[in-house]
Structures are given as C-alpha cells and as structure tokens.
C-alpha cells in the first residue's frame, strides 16, 4: 500500500511538471514581445510529442532567447550547461521560425537523453533528427544543393564536427535533412524512434538500429541514396550550365552560317558583274546571251 501511494505521488508530481514547462522565453532589445506568445504556444505543442519519442523529461530550465543575428544556415543553436539549457532562435528567417523552435527543442531532449543514458550520439544523428523534426513541424527551405562537387565533398557520416565554412555547412544540413526524410518515409520516426533508442541502449550501433526499422542494411541504403542524389544533382548541374554554355555556341553557329551565306551572295554578285562586263549589261536577266 505504501509503495502504491508513493507511485501515485510521483505520477501527480510528474503530471504537474509536464503542464508547467521549464521554458523561459525572452526577446532581444528592439524585438516585439509578441513573438514570445507564438514561441510559447509552439513549445507547448512540441513538448508532448518529444516526451513520447524520447521517454525523458528535461529537468533543467530552458532559457530561450529570440534574436536577430547572423548565424548563417544554423538559424539557431542550443547549448547544454550543468544547470540549464540555453537556446537561441534567429528571426532573420521568419518563415522558418517555427521549424527552428522545433529543431532546437529536439536538441534539448537529445541532450537530456544523452545525460540520462550515457550514450553518445553522432553529429549526423543529432542534426538529422533535429532537421527532420523541424521540417515535420514547420517549414524548411533546405533543398539539396545544385553543386555535385559540394555534395560529394560533404559526407555527413564522415564528419565528427561541423564543416568549416558556411557553404559546406548549409550543404551538410540539407543532406542530413534529405537523408532523414528518406528514412522517415520507410519507418515513421515519430513511432519508431523509441524502438531505435531502446536498441541503442541495449548495445546496438545507430547504423544497426536504423537498419532494423527501415528494413534494410543502413550502410547499403545510405550508399544507394548518395549515388541517386549525386546523379540527379549532376544532371541538374549539367542542364543548368548546358543552357548558359550551349546558347552562346548556338549563336556563334548561326552567325557563322549567316556570314557564310553572305559570302556566297557576294560571290554570286561578283560573278554577275564580271559576266555583265563580258556579255553586256542585261546578262543577268537571262536569255540567249
């Protein structure tokens, strides 16, 4: 009986904490306080689904700052401190603010899960899940690039740290976003993420856990995914440059044909002139001359 009582007390306290989110939202000087209303509403909306997926509750307070800055393709970031989480949301991309809030809250739960279960999470998994969740809950304009050389040089699975320039970093986010959307189509992360996390806690690698839910070897799936995307990006790249290089070539050919035609006409006029000089002025009109 005593054990049941303590369980009920725990459940009541847990329920209370869920309804009182530990998120404190502030805005940068000069930014309207109205943004806090939307961000708070979105955070409450995402909170329940994130708890279901991760099975953890972030007990440290979350201090979220809404600001305008030049953060490049990241659009925000989250830092885990011993006593709190610090989140920055960039307003320079207003159409993607909701997605950014979802993305950063996903990072909060990732850090909470890592701390609780002491399992490392590769960078590509952290950013892949965060971009997938951000795109699922909001709007991302993050398509794969049109440069096959950049696509080939940025391989998310081989990077332990972020790429060291903005262009490559933007490509990195686009690639993991597209990759995790492709996997989501095969497994539905919202339902299968708890299964993946349980497998990892039981000793499987992330690649092995993904293999189980997508129904095929992850490394083979990834290699095939990269080959197909490289082909389409290369085709797009060739088509784009084909227009810009092909059009001048066509114009040059037309110019040469026209010039050649003028040359033939000139030769014909010269021939008629010489014949007129020899046979008479009206030679060109025909006849028996």
Name the nearest CA neighbour of 162 among 108, 124, 194.
124
What are the tens digits of pLDDT across the range 35-73?
Answer: 889 999 999 999 999 999 999 999 899 999 998 876 666
CA torsion sign, 167 to 97 to 80 to 36? positive
CA nearest 23: which of 35, 39, 38? 39
- DSSP label at residue 86: E
Is 85 buried (19+), middle (13-18) or exposed (0-12) by CB count in 10 A? buried
Tell me the whole-structure pTM to 2 decimals: 0.76
**pLDDT for residue 15:** 43
What whole-number distance in Å separates Cα of residue 99 and Cα of residue 105? 10
Average pLDDT on 109-137 reads 95
Both tokens of residue 63? 């201090």
pLDDT of residue 289: 44
Among 111, 110, 112, 62, CA closest to 88 = 62
> Would you state the pLDDT for residue 13?
46
Task: Report the alpha-carbon distance of residue 34 to residue 14 in Å, rounded.
Answer: 30
- The H-or-E segment that residue 22 falls in is none
Q: What is the pLDDT of residue 148?
A: 84
Question: Which pLDDT does position 216 carry in this prediction?
Answer: 97
d(CA 230, CA 236): 10
Measured in Å, how far apart are the chain's first and last C-alpha atoms? 132
Check residue 91 and give its pLDDT: 86
Q: Which two tokens stand for residue 162?
A: 């972020």
User: Which whole number is the average pLDDT over 103-117?
Assistant: 96
Q: Checking DSSP bridges between strand 62-67 and strand 85-90, what pairing results, if any? A: parallel
Q: What is the pLDDT of residue 207?
A: 97
Question: Mean pLDDT across the chain, nearest whole number?
Answer: 82
> In degrees rounded to 5, what are phi and psi of residue 62?
-115, 115
CATH architecture of 23-118: 2-Layer Sandwich (3.30)
pLDDT (tens digit, 9 = 90+) per residue, 166-224? 889 989 999 999 999 999 999 999 999 999 999 999 999 999 999 999 999 999 999 99
Q: Give pLDDT, residue 61.
A: 95
Choose among 42, 97, 109, 99: nearest CA to 66: 97
Model pLDDT for residues 226-255, shown as the tens digit of each residue: 999 988 888 876 775 455 455 555 556 555
User: Within a 10 A sphere around the Cβ of 1, how many other Cβ atoms?
Assistant: 4
Q: What is the pLDDT of residue 113?
A: 97
110 and 126 in contact (C-beta within 8 Å)? yes
Q: For 5-31, what is the mean pLDDT?
A: 63
Residue boundaries of the structural domains of the chain? 23-118, 119-254, 255-283
| pLDDT higher than threshold 80 for residue 74 | no
Task: Give the pLDDT band of residue 18 (cuts 50, 70, 90).
Answer: very low
Classify 251 as helix, strand or coil: helix
Q: What is the rounded CA–CA span in Å between residue 244 and residue 103?
A: 38
């Amino acid at each position: 009986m005593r054990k049941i009582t303590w369980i009920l007390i725990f459940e009541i306290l847990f329920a209370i904490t869920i309804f009182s989110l530990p998120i404190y939202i502030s805005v940068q000087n000069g930014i309207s306080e109205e943004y806090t209303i939307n961000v708070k509403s979105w955070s409450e909306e995402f909170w329940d689904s994130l708890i279901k997926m991760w099975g953890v509750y972030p007990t440290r307070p979350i201090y979220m700052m809404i600001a305008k800055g030049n953060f490049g393709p990241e659009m925000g970031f989250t830092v885990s401190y011993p006593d709190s989480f610090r989140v920055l949301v960039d307003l320079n991309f207003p159409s993607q603010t909701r997605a950014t809030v979802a993305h950063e809250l996903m990072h909060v739960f990732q850090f909470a899960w890592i701390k609780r279960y002491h399992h490392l999470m590769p960078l590509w998994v952290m950013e892949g899940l965060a971009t997938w969740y951000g795109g699922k809950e909001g709007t991302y304009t993050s398509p794969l690039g049109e440069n096959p050389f950049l696509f080939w040089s940025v391989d998310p699975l081989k990077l332990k740290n972020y790429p060291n320039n903005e262009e490559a970093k933007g490509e990195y986010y686009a690639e993991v976003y597209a990759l995790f959307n492709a996997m989501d189509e095969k497994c539905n992360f919202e339902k299968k993420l708890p299964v993946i996390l349980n497998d990892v806690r039981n000793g499987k690698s992330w690649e092995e856990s993904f293999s189980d839910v997508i129904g095929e070897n992850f490394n083979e799936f990834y290699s095939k995914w990269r080959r197909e995307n490289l082909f389409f990006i290369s085709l797009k790249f060739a088509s784009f440059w084909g227009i810009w290089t092909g059009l001048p070539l066509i114009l040059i050919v037309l110019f040469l044909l026209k010039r050649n035609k003028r040359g033939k006409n000139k030769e014909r006029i010269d021939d008629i002139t010489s014949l007129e000089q020899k046979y008479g002025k009206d030679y060109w009109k025909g006849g028996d001359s």
